[in-house]
Structure 1
Amino acid sequence: MQTFWLALLGLLLSGYFALGGYDLGVQMLHPFLKDRDATLAAMAPFFLGNEVWLVAFAGVLFGAFPHLEGSLLPGLYPLVAAIVTGLVAGGTAVQLRRRTRRGRRWWQALIVAGGALPAVCWGLVVGVLLQGVPRRADGGFHLGAAQVLTPFVLACGAGIALLFAAHGAAFLALRSAPDLAARARRTGAALVGAAGAAAVPALVATLLGAGASMTNPRVAALLTGLLATALAAARWALTRGHRVRAFAATCAATLAPVLLVGAGQYPYVLATGAGAGLSVAEAAADGATLRILTVFGVVLVPVILAYQAWSWWALRVRTAGGFF
């Protein structure tokens, strides 16, 4: 039961990275692809709807893993607050940017910041969790500058931000009219290469003993290979105009960081970097609570998946106008 809920938690966060990630990427790219209205129109049918994955993830975290939530969120509070601030600011700017001509540039800057700030902070969160957290005697941990400003964590922050931007470019190539799609493909190919280059310092830091702390090194190596293969496939597909394959490849690449945290450090959900930490059994709620929550999970997850599948099928045609 505990492993099932851990897998469900990972599925929801992976879904947010894959679907909410391109929202953030499009926001970061929108002033650099000339046709700004068409850029935002491509994600308009899905805008803010993908955050349902994040809301569901938070609900499962609070309900099924209260001890993890109690240790994790206080320690990551500065980064979590920055993520929420960016999401709110970016969503507001996208919808209000036409209200005044004088402040148009400020709204556009806020749109970019609303995509870049959460993307970078999500990368830093992943980097901190992979690196290991300094737990106190009471089970909590304090996240200071020394834990964030390391080569490994900073490389993760830059790499995931670039990956989300490349994912947004692949999404635009899939959804936009031919002219914008062509520019998005060229931009996306360059961003995929930059994301791969940003991952090199993280790998070097790991080899030097200052990077990720994995309890399952073989699984971690397999997932790292998956990430490298997905990035290579995305670059190949973008340069050759295979837009569906490119988007599928960037989706696969966005899943790898979440899988690394979950599977690479299993049975720990919060590793300390010394082969120990908060285990799944210690973090999860009691069996009776998990059984009650399972009833809701069995209903909720299929509904989310069905809604996402239907929305993509209903809105599968490329956009050419403005929704906002």
Structure 2
Amino acid sequence: MDYALIWAILIAVAVFAYVALDGFDLGIAMLFPWFKREEHRDVMMNTVAPVWDGNETWLVLGGGGLLAVFPLAFAVLMPALYMPVIAMLLGLIFRGVAFEYRFKTKRGKPIWDLSFMIGSLVAALSQGIMLGAMLQGIKVVDRSYGGGWFDWLTPFSLFCGLAVVVGYMLLGSTWLVMKTRGELQQRSFRAARITALLLALSIAVVSLYLPWRDAAIAERWFSFPASVWLWTLPLTLALVTLGLLRSLTREHEVAPYLWALGLFFLSFVGFAISIFPYLVPRSITLWQAAAPDNSLVFLLYGAVILLPIIAAYTGYTYWVFRGKVDPDAGYHD
């Protein structure tokens, strides 16, 4: 069996689960400037109160799995992305502390609101910058990072960071559409329409820029006839975008969030196709980065036991707290 490939798929699933689940609560925080009323902000936070910390389990699984299963890739990527990784972790810490403290004070609430917004923005921006830095390539010399401290900081990586911010705001606004009523829901519809258009434009720009910049990516996507089947992906992406915009125009409640997840999933698949089989693009493949097979098998036993448990309690939590949020119910009542 190809244990390295199996683990690459498992880590990809964990990373996408994190983006899909933690993305909307980061997005909700970044939507705070458009929702000035305190009662609206209270409801927004209550929509994610039961699930936000559990969502971050998948980030731990993805990062820890990379260290244990692909140590060479981890050893190259960490020094290359050290600053945005630290910024992301600090942002998540500020966001978590603000979440808990905001409900315990009246006078200091604006401070914790600001901390909640800034922490979430830094975390989302850092994740997008890391994605952009990986897509543009990381310099490797003798199986170690050969670049400088700020190689990750480029116009393209910043653009990817802003695109992830917009994408998370789309997830957040569609989540609020599904979980709220009245004026808050209508404002969420408006935010979702704007962010959906901006995200579609961002995906289009990245999709055109990468083949123009990277000959290997261009060959994969444009070599006829091998790439014909790949073009089902951008066509499906266009259809999903239209479905999202249509559901927002007709003010459906559940469908916009599902369409938005579909947009993220297809973009994630496109990213994977563009860099496969590399974990460090154009330098280190997943097989070169993998730990010995006996280690992969040992870790796989643990994953087979733990992953269903994590998925089960996550699903159960969402099931218990399904439906609309009661504006009169508080997080720490």
Q: TM-score, normalised by structure 2?
A: 0.88
Q: Identify the match of residue 34 of structure 2 among 29, 32, 35.
A: 32
SS in 2 for 1:269: strand
Matched with 1:252 is: 262
Structure 1 residues 78-97: aligned runs within 5 Å: 78-97=83-102
Matched with 1:241 is: 251
Question: 2:74 matched to 1:69?
Answer: yes
Count of residue pairs brought into register by the alignment: 319
Contact 1:24/1:119 (<8 A) preserved: yes
Task: Look up the equivalent residue of 1:182 and give its one-letter code.
Answer: Q
Cα offset, 1:123, TM superposition = 0.9
SS in 2 for 1:105: helix
Against the structure 1 CA distance between its residues 133 and 224, is the aligned structure 2 distance closer, same or farther, given a 3 Å change threshold?
Answer: farther
Provide the C-alpha distance between the structure 2 equivalents of 1:112 and 1:241, rounded to a whole number of angstroms.
27
Matched with 1:168 is: 172
Against the structure 1 CA distance between its residues 77 and 212, is the aligned structure 2 distance closer, same or farther, given a 3 Å change threshold?
Answer: farther
Cα offset, 1:12, TM superposition = 0.1
SS in 2 for 1:243: coil
Against the structure 1 CA distance between its residues 174 and 288, is the aligned structure 2 distance closer, same or farther, given a 3 Å change threshold?
Answer: same
Structure 1 residues 1-324: aligned runs within 5 Å: 1-33=3-35, 34=37, 35-142=40-147, 144-150=149-155, 152-206=156-210, 208-209=212-213, 213=217, 216-217=220-221, 218=227, 222-271=232-281, 276-320=282-326, 321-324=329-332
Cα offset, 1:93, TM superposition = 0.8
Name stretches of at least 5 consecutive residues in structure 2 with no aligned partner.
222-226
Task: Look up the equivalent residue of 1:119 and give its one-letter code.
Answer: A
Cα offset, 1:79, TM superposition = 0.6
Provide the C-alpha distance between the structure 1 equivalents of 2:30 and 2:216, rounded to a whole number of angstroms.
28
Offset from partner CA, 1:250-308 (integer Å, 9 cap, x none): 1122234443343321111111xxxx310111111111011111111111111122122
Provide the C-alpha distance between the structure 2 equivalents of 1:265 and 1:99, rounded to a whole number of angstroms.
46
Contact 1:42/1:319 (<8 A) preserved: yes
SS in 1 for 2:279: strand
Provide the C-alpha distance between the structure 1 equivalents of 2:87 and 2:215, rounded to a whole number of angstroms.
24
Offset from partner CA, 1:236-262 (integer Å, 9 cap, x none): 212212222111111122234443343
Name stretches of at least 5 consecutive residues in structure 1 with no aligned partner.
none
Contact 2:25/2:52 (<8 A) preserved: yes
Task: Look up the equivalent residue of 2:272 and give its one-letter code.
Answer: G
Offset from partner CA, 1:18-41 (integer Å, 9 cap, x none): 001011001111342231101111
Matched with 2:224 is: none
Provide the C-alpha distance between the structure 2 equivalents of 1:212 and 1:108, rounded to a whole number of angstroms.
45
Contact 1:123/1:159 (<8 A) preserved: yes
Provide the C-alpha distance between the structure 2 equivalents of 1:212 and 1:120, rounded to a whole number of angstroms.
27
Offset from partner CA, 1:141-180 (integer Å, 9 cap, x none): 4354454223x32221111110100100011111123432
Contact 2:138/2:145 (<8 A) preserved: no
SS in 1 for 2:213: coil
Cα offset, 1:220, TM superposition = 6.8
SS in 1 for 2:330: coil
RMSD: 2.3
Cα offset, 1:185, TM superposition = 1.4
Offset from partner CA, 1:95-132 (integer Å, 9 cap, x none): 11244444322211111111111111111111111121
SS in 2 for 1:230: helix
Contact 2:27/2:173 (<8 A) preserved: yes
Bigger mean CA offset, 292-301 vs 179-188:
179-188
Identity of aligned residues (%): 26
Q: TM-score, normalised by structure 1?
A: 0.90
Contact 1:156/1:199 (<8 A) preserved: no
Contact 2:211/2:218 (<8 A) preserved: no
Cα offset, 1:215, TM superposition = 7.2
Task: Look up the equivalent residue of 2:9 and give its one-letter code.
Answer: A
